[in-house]
Amino acid sequence: MENESFSKLLVQITEMDHRQRHCLLEALTHLPDDSQVIECVESKFDTDGNCPFCNHNQCHRHGFANGLQRYRCMSCLRTFNALTGTPLARLRHKEKWLSYLKAIGESLTIRKAAAVVGLNRKTSFRWRHRFLAWIAYDRPTSLHGITEADETYLLESDKGSHHLDRTARKRGGSASQRGLSREQVCILVARDRAGSTVDFVTGKGPVNASSLRNCLKPVLDTDALLVTDGHSAYKTFCQTEKIFHEIINLSKGERVRRPFHLKNVNAYHRRFKSWLQRFHGVATKYLSNYLGWRRSLEQHPQISPESLLAISLGQFQHLKGT
Protein backbone atom coordinates (compact mmCIF):
# COMPACT_ATOMS: atom_id res chain seq x y z
CA MET A 1 0.00 0.00 0.00
CA GLU A 2 1.25 3.48 -0.89
CA ASN A 3 2.08 5.74 2.07
CA GLU A 4 -0.52 8.25 0.88
CA SER A 5 -3.31 5.65 0.82
CA PHE A 6 -2.28 4.42 4.24
CA SER A 7 -2.47 7.96 5.70
CA LYS A 8 -5.97 8.30 4.22
CA LEU A 9 -6.97 5.01 5.81
CA LEU A 10 -5.80 6.21 9.22
CA VAL A 11 -7.96 9.31 8.86
CA GLN A 12 -10.92 7.17 7.79
CA ILE A 13 -10.65 5.12 11.00
CA THR A 14 -11.53 8.21 13.02
CA GLU A 15 -14.69 8.54 10.91
CA MET A 16 -15.85 4.96 11.57
CA ASP A 17 -18.72 4.15 13.93
CA HIS A 18 -18.32 1.66 16.75
CA ARG A 19 -19.59 -1.33 14.74
CA GLN A 20 -17.24 -0.60 11.83
CA ARG A 21 -14.23 -0.26 14.14
CA HIS A 22 -15.16 -3.58 15.74
CA CYS A 23 -15.31 -5.24 12.29
CA LEU A 24 -11.93 -3.76 11.37
CA LEU A 25 -10.39 -5.00 14.60
CA GLU A 26 -11.77 -8.51 13.98
CA ALA A 27 -10.35 -8.50 10.46
CA LEU A 28 -6.91 -7.41 11.69
CA THR A 29 -6.88 -9.97 14.51
CA HIS A 30 -7.72 -12.85 12.19
CA LEU A 31 -5.50 -11.79 9.33
CA PRO A 32 -3.80 -14.92 7.91
CA ASP A 33 -0.24 -14.87 9.17
CA ASP A 34 2.61 -15.67 6.81
CA SER A 35 5.34 -14.22 9.04
CA GLN A 36 6.58 -17.64 10.26
CA VAL A 37 6.95 -18.86 6.69
CA ILE A 38 8.71 -15.68 5.61
CA GLU A 39 11.12 -15.93 8.54
CA CYS A 40 11.97 -19.54 7.67
CA VAL A 41 12.43 -18.70 3.99
CA GLU A 42 14.58 -15.61 4.65
CA SER A 43 16.78 -17.50 7.11
CA LYS A 44 17.43 -20.06 4.36
CA PHE A 45 18.77 -17.26 2.19
CA ASP A 46 21.03 -16.00 4.99
CA THR A 47 22.71 -19.41 4.98
CA ASP A 48 23.69 -19.54 1.31
CA GLY A 49 23.02 -16.12 -0.13
CA ASN A 50 24.49 -16.53 -3.61
CA CYS A 51 22.81 -15.35 -6.81
CA PRO A 52 20.66 -18.27 -8.09
CA PHE A 53 21.46 -17.33 -11.69
CA CYS A 54 25.25 -16.88 -11.75
CA ASN A 55 26.25 -17.94 -8.19
CA HIS A 56 27.94 -14.59 -7.56
CA ASN A 57 28.18 -13.87 -3.84
CA GLN A 58 27.61 -10.12 -3.93
CA CYS A 59 24.14 -8.68 -4.20
CA HIS A 60 22.31 -5.74 -2.71
CA ARG A 61 18.82 -5.27 -1.35
CA HIS A 62 16.32 -4.21 -3.97
CA GLY A 63 12.94 -3.57 -2.33
CA PHE A 64 10.26 -6.01 -1.22
CA ALA A 65 7.75 -8.11 -3.14
CA ASN A 66 5.16 -10.58 -1.80
CA GLY A 67 6.50 -10.13 1.72
CA LEU A 68 10.02 -11.18 0.71
CA GLN A 69 13.21 -9.14 0.45
CA ARG A 70 14.27 -8.75 -3.18
CA TYR A 71 17.95 -8.68 -4.12
CA ARG A 72 19.85 -7.57 -7.19
CA CYS A 73 23.00 -9.39 -8.23
CA MET A 74 26.04 -7.13 -8.63
CA SER A 75 27.37 -9.35 -11.43
CA CYS A 76 24.46 -10.38 -13.70
CA LEU A 77 22.14 -7.57 -12.46
CA ARG A 78 19.14 -9.89 -12.27
CA THR A 79 16.77 -9.61 -9.33
CA PHE A 80 15.66 -12.49 -7.17
CA ASN A 81 14.38 -13.45 -3.73
CA ALA A 82 15.12 -16.30 -1.32
CA LEU A 83 12.70 -18.62 -3.16
CA THR A 84 14.04 -18.05 -6.68
CA GLY A 85 15.33 -21.31 -8.11
CA THR A 86 13.52 -23.48 -5.54
CA PRO A 87 10.37 -25.56 -6.22
CA LEU A 88 8.45 -23.06 -4.05
CA ALA A 89 9.19 -20.02 -6.23
CA ARG A 90 6.04 -18.01 -6.96
CA LEU A 91 3.86 -20.37 -4.91
CA ARG A 92 1.12 -18.19 -3.45
CA HIS A 93 -0.74 -18.08 -0.11
CA LYS A 94 2.26 -18.44 2.19
CA GLU A 95 -0.12 -18.17 5.14
CA LYS A 96 -1.34 -21.68 4.26
CA TRP A 97 2.02 -23.36 3.68
CA LEU A 98 2.58 -24.59 7.23
CA SER A 99 -0.94 -26.05 7.41
CA TYR A 100 -0.28 -27.84 4.14
CA LEU A 101 3.07 -29.15 5.38
CA LYS A 102 1.33 -30.38 8.53
CA ALA A 103 -1.05 -32.30 6.22
CA ILE A 104 2.00 -33.79 4.45
CA GLY A 105 3.43 -34.80 7.84
CA GLU A 106 0.14 -36.56 8.55
CA SER A 107 0.08 -38.27 5.10
CA LEU A 108 -3.31 -36.79 4.23
CA THR A 109 -4.78 -37.46 0.79
CA ILE A 110 -5.09 -34.64 -1.77
CA ARG A 111 -8.78 -34.32 -1.00
CA LYS A 112 -8.39 -34.23 2.80
CA ALA A 113 -5.44 -31.82 2.67
CA ALA A 114 -7.48 -29.53 0.38
CA ALA A 115 -10.40 -29.54 2.83
CA VAL A 116 -8.27 -28.96 5.94
CA VAL A 117 -6.14 -26.18 4.43
CA GLY A 118 -8.83 -24.51 2.34
CA LEU A 119 -7.56 -25.11 -1.20
CA ASN A 120 -9.17 -26.62 -4.25
CA ARG A 121 -8.09 -30.15 -5.16
CA LYS A 122 -6.09 -29.14 -8.21
CA THR A 123 -4.02 -26.71 -6.12
CA SER A 124 -3.66 -29.30 -3.37
CA PHE A 125 -2.16 -31.72 -5.91
CA ARG A 126 0.19 -29.07 -7.30
CA TRP A 127 1.33 -28.03 -3.82
CA ARG A 128 1.98 -31.64 -2.79
CA HIS A 129 4.50 -32.15 -5.56
CA ARG A 130 6.07 -28.70 -5.19
CA PHE A 131 6.79 -29.41 -1.51
CA LEU A 132 7.89 -33.00 -2.13
CA ALA A 133 10.22 -32.17 -5.04
CA TRP A 134 13.25 -31.48 -2.85
CA ILE A 135 12.14 -33.49 0.19
CA ALA A 136 12.81 -36.50 -2.08
CA TYR A 137 16.51 -35.55 -2.21
CA ASP A 138 16.89 -35.57 1.58
CA ARG A 139 18.52 -38.98 1.63
CA PRO A 140 21.62 -40.26 3.47
CA THR A 141 24.86 -39.77 1.55
CA SER A 142 26.46 -43.03 2.68
CA LEU A 143 25.55 -46.48 3.95
CA HIS A 144 27.89 -48.42 6.23
CA GLY A 145 28.57 -52.00 7.25
CA ILE A 146 25.96 -54.66 6.56
CA THR A 147 23.65 -53.14 3.95
CA GLU A 148 20.61 -54.95 2.64
CA ALA A 149 19.51 -54.20 -0.91
CA ASP A 150 16.48 -55.55 -2.70
CA GLU A 151 14.05 -54.40 -5.34
CA THR A 152 10.29 -54.39 -5.38
CA TYR A 153 7.93 -53.66 -8.25
CA LEU A 154 4.81 -51.60 -8.82
CA LEU A 155 2.56 -51.71 -11.84
CA GLU A 156 3.27 -48.78 -14.15
CA SER A 157 0.60 -46.10 -13.80
CA ASP A 158 -0.32 -43.17 -16.03
CA LYS A 159 -2.80 -41.91 -13.45
CA GLY A 160 -3.97 -38.43 -14.38
CA SER A 161 -2.60 -38.68 -17.94
CA HIS A 162 -4.93 -38.05 -20.87
CA HIS A 163 -2.57 -39.54 -23.44
CA LEU A 164 -2.40 -43.30 -22.96
CA ASP A 165 -0.63 -45.59 -25.40
CA ARG A 166 -2.80 -48.47 -24.25
CA THR A 167 -6.32 -49.05 -22.98
CA ALA A 168 -6.69 -47.57 -19.51
CA ARG A 169 -6.63 -50.01 -16.63
CA LYS A 170 -9.16 -49.70 -13.88
CA ARG A 171 -7.72 -48.36 -10.67
CA GLY A 172 -5.45 -50.92 -9.02
CA GLY A 173 -5.74 -53.15 -12.10
CA SER A 174 -3.53 -56.11 -12.88
CA ALA A 175 -0.81 -56.60 -15.47
CA SER A 176 -1.73 -58.16 -18.79
CA GLN A 177 1.28 -60.50 -18.59
CA ARG A 178 2.17 -62.77 -15.72
CA GLY A 179 5.47 -62.36 -13.90
CA LEU A 180 7.92 -59.50 -14.21
CA SER A 181 7.40 -57.50 -17.39
CA ARG A 182 8.01 -54.06 -18.85
CA GLU A 183 4.71 -53.01 -17.23
CA GLN A 184 6.35 -53.22 -13.81
CA VAL A 185 8.36 -50.32 -12.45
CA CYS A 186 11.37 -51.28 -10.35
CA ILE A 187 11.99 -49.65 -6.96
CA LEU A 188 15.42 -50.31 -5.47
CA VAL A 189 15.88 -49.90 -1.73
CA ALA A 190 19.11 -50.26 0.27
CA ARG A 191 19.19 -50.01 4.05
CA ASP A 192 22.06 -50.39 6.47
CA ARG A 193 21.72 -51.71 10.01
CA ALA A 194 21.68 -48.19 11.44
CA GLY A 195 18.44 -47.66 9.49
CA SER A 196 19.90 -45.28 6.89
CA THR A 197 17.86 -45.89 3.76
CA VAL A 198 18.17 -44.93 0.11
CA ASP A 199 15.60 -45.61 -2.60
CA PHE A 200 15.53 -45.24 -6.36
CA VAL A 201 13.08 -45.73 -9.19
CA THR A 202 15.32 -47.57 -11.67
CA GLY A 203 12.76 -47.73 -14.48
CA LYS A 204 10.64 -50.37 -16.13
CA GLY A 205 11.54 -54.04 -16.00
CA PRO A 206 14.11 -55.93 -13.91
CA VAL A 207 16.99 -54.16 -12.20
CA ASN A 208 20.36 -54.37 -14.00
CA ALA A 209 24.01 -53.92 -13.05
CA SER A 210 24.22 -50.53 -14.68
CA SER A 211 21.33 -49.10 -12.57
CA LEU A 212 22.91 -50.64 -9.48
CA ARG A 213 26.19 -48.89 -10.26
CA ASN A 214 24.49 -45.54 -10.83
CA CYS A 215 22.33 -45.76 -7.70
CA LEU A 216 24.35 -47.67 -5.12
CA LYS A 217 28.00 -47.09 -5.96
CA PRO A 218 27.99 -43.41 -4.84
CA VAL A 219 26.40 -44.21 -1.46
CA LEU A 220 28.12 -47.45 -0.43
CA ASP A 221 30.96 -46.82 2.00
CA THR A 222 34.18 -48.80 1.50
CA ASP A 223 33.31 -50.83 4.62
CA ALA A 224 29.88 -51.80 3.24
CA LEU A 225 28.94 -55.44 2.85
CA LEU A 226 26.04 -55.76 0.45
CA VAL A 227 23.46 -58.43 1.26
CA THR A 228 21.17 -59.32 -1.65
CA ASP A 229 19.22 -62.18 -3.18
CA GLY A 230 20.74 -64.26 -5.97
CA HIS A 231 19.81 -61.91 -8.84
CA SER A 232 22.73 -61.91 -11.30
CA ALA A 233 22.74 -58.07 -11.55
CA TYR A 234 23.93 -57.83 -7.93
CA LYS A 235 26.72 -60.37 -8.55
CA THR A 236 27.94 -58.50 -11.63
CA PHE A 237 27.78 -55.14 -9.86
CA CYS A 238 29.64 -56.31 -6.76
CA GLN A 239 32.32 -58.17 -8.75
CA THR A 240 32.95 -55.23 -11.07
CA GLU A 241 33.03 -52.65 -8.30
CA LYS A 242 34.85 -54.90 -5.81
CA ILE A 243 32.17 -54.65 -3.13
CA PHE A 244 31.90 -57.23 -0.34
CA HIS A 245 28.84 -59.33 -1.19
CA GLU A 246 26.72 -61.87 0.65
CA ILE A 247 23.99 -63.68 -1.27
CA ILE A 248 20.83 -64.95 0.38
CA ASN A 249 19.29 -67.52 -1.92
CA LEU A 250 15.85 -67.98 -0.43
CA SER A 251 14.31 -69.52 -3.55
CA LYS A 252 16.54 -72.58 -3.15
CA GLY A 253 15.49 -72.93 0.47
CA GLU A 254 18.90 -71.91 1.75
CA ARG A 255 18.96 -71.46 5.48
CA VAL A 256 19.39 -67.82 6.44
CA ARG A 257 22.91 -67.29 7.75
CA ARG A 258 22.74 -64.84 10.59
CA PRO A 259 23.42 -61.93 10.64
CA PHE A 260 22.82 -61.89 6.91
CA HIS A 261 19.22 -61.51 5.86
CA LEU A 262 16.95 -59.15 3.96
CA LYS A 263 14.31 -58.75 6.64
CA ASN A 264 14.83 -55.02 7.19
CA VAL A 265 14.70 -54.01 3.56
CA ASN A 266 11.73 -56.27 2.83
CA ALA A 267 9.86 -54.86 5.84
CA TYR A 268 10.60 -51.40 4.45
CA HIS A 269 9.05 -52.42 1.11
CA ARG A 270 5.94 -53.65 2.93
CA ARG A 271 5.59 -50.46 4.99
CA PHE A 272 5.96 -48.32 1.86
CA LYS A 273 3.39 -50.27 -0.13
CA SER A 274 0.90 -50.39 2.71
CA TRP A 275 1.29 -46.61 3.31
CA LEU A 276 0.87 -46.01 -0.44
CA GLN A 277 -2.55 -47.69 -0.49
CA ARG A 278 -4.26 -44.63 1.00
CA PHE A 279 -3.50 -42.72 -2.22
CA HIS A 280 -5.32 -45.27 -4.40
CA GLY A 281 -2.59 -45.61 -7.01
CA VAL A 282 0.06 -43.02 -7.83
CA ALA A 283 1.40 -42.00 -11.24
CA THR A 284 4.80 -43.52 -12.02
CA LYS A 285 6.26 -40.11 -12.83
CA TYR A 286 5.63 -39.04 -9.21
CA LEU A 287 6.80 -42.31 -7.64
CA SER A 288 10.16 -40.92 -6.49
CA ASN A 289 8.32 -38.11 -4.68
CA TYR A 290 6.27 -40.68 -2.76
CA LEU A 291 9.39 -42.71 -1.94
CA GLY A 292 11.02 -39.54 -0.62
CA TRP A 293 7.90 -38.61 1.35
CA ARG A 294 7.78 -42.02 3.02
CA ARG A 295 11.53 -41.94 3.72
CA SER A 296 11.25 -38.49 5.25
CA LEU A 297 8.46 -39.65 7.59
CA GLU A 298 10.61 -42.62 8.66
CA GLN A 299 13.77 -40.53 9.06
CA HIS A 300 12.07 -37.74 10.95
CA PRO A 301 9.07 -39.05 12.93
CA GLN A 302 6.97 -36.23 14.46
CA ILE A 303 8.67 -33.68 12.21
CA SER A 304 7.32 -30.12 12.54
CA PRO A 305 5.85 -28.28 9.54
CA GLU A 306 8.64 -25.70 9.92
CA SER A 307 11.34 -28.39 9.62
CA LEU A 308 9.56 -29.92 6.61
CA LEU A 309 9.54 -26.46 5.01
CA ALA A 310 13.29 -26.16 5.60
CA ILE A 311 13.85 -29.57 3.94
CA SER A 312 11.59 -28.63 1.02
CA LEU A 313 13.93 -25.62 0.53
CA GLY A 314 16.98 -27.87 0.45
CA GLN A 315 18.17 -27.51 4.05
CA PHE A 316 19.00 -31.15 4.62
CA GLN A 317 19.91 -32.32 8.09
CA HIS A 318 22.65 -34.67 6.87
CA LEU A 319 24.39 -31.81 5.08
CA LYS A 320 24.76 -30.02 8.39
CA GLY A 321 26.25 -33.15 9.95
CA THR A 322 23.51 -33.36 12.60
Q: Which is nearer to Zn ion, 72 or 126 (CB)?
A: 72
Nearer to Zn ion, 58 or 176 (CB): 58
Question: Taking CB under 5 A as the rule, does residue 104 contact Zn ion?
Answer: no
Q: Which residue lies nearer to Zn ion by CB, 55 or 141?
A: 55
CB of 75 to Zn ion, least distance (A): 5
- The verdict on 280 binding Zn ion (CB under 5 A) reads no
Q: How far is the CB of 114 from Zn ion (least distance, A)?
A: 37
Which residues ranging from 45 to 64 are in contact with Zn ion (CB under 5 A)? Answer: 51, 53-54, 56
Cβ distance to Zn ion smaller for residue 79 or 288 = 79
* Residue span binding Zn ion (CB under 5 A) among the ranges 40-48, 65-73, 169-177, 196-204: 65-73
User: Least distance to Zn ion from the beta carbon of 47, Å?
Assistant: 18
- Total number of residues binding Zn ion (CB under 5 A)? 7
Nearer to Zn ion, 9 or 54 (CB): 54
50 vs 181, beta carbon nearer Zn ion: 50
Q: Whole-number minimum distance, CB 56 to Zn ion, in Å?
A: 5
The answer to whether 73 contacts Zn ion (rule: CB under 5 A) is yes
3-state secondary structure the chain: CCHHHHHHHHHHHHCCCHHHHHHHHHHHHCCCCCHHHHHHHHHHHHHCCCCCCCCCCCEEEEEEECCEEEEEECCCCCEECCCCCCCCCCCCCHHHHHHHHHHHHCCCCHHHHHHHHCCCHHHHHHHHHHHHHHHCCCCCCCECCEEEEEEEEEECCCCCCCCCCCCCCCCCCCCCCCCCCCCEEEEEEEEECCCCEEEEEEEECCCCHHHHHHHHCCCECCCCEEEECCCHHHHHHHHHHCCEEEECCHHHCCCCCCCCCCHHHHHHHHHHHHHHHHHCCCCHHHHHHHHHHHHHHHHCCCCCHHHHHHHHCCCCHHHHCC
Residue 80 binding Zn ion, by CB under 5 A: no
What are the residues binding Zn ion (CB under 5 A)?
51, 53-54, 56, 73, 75-76
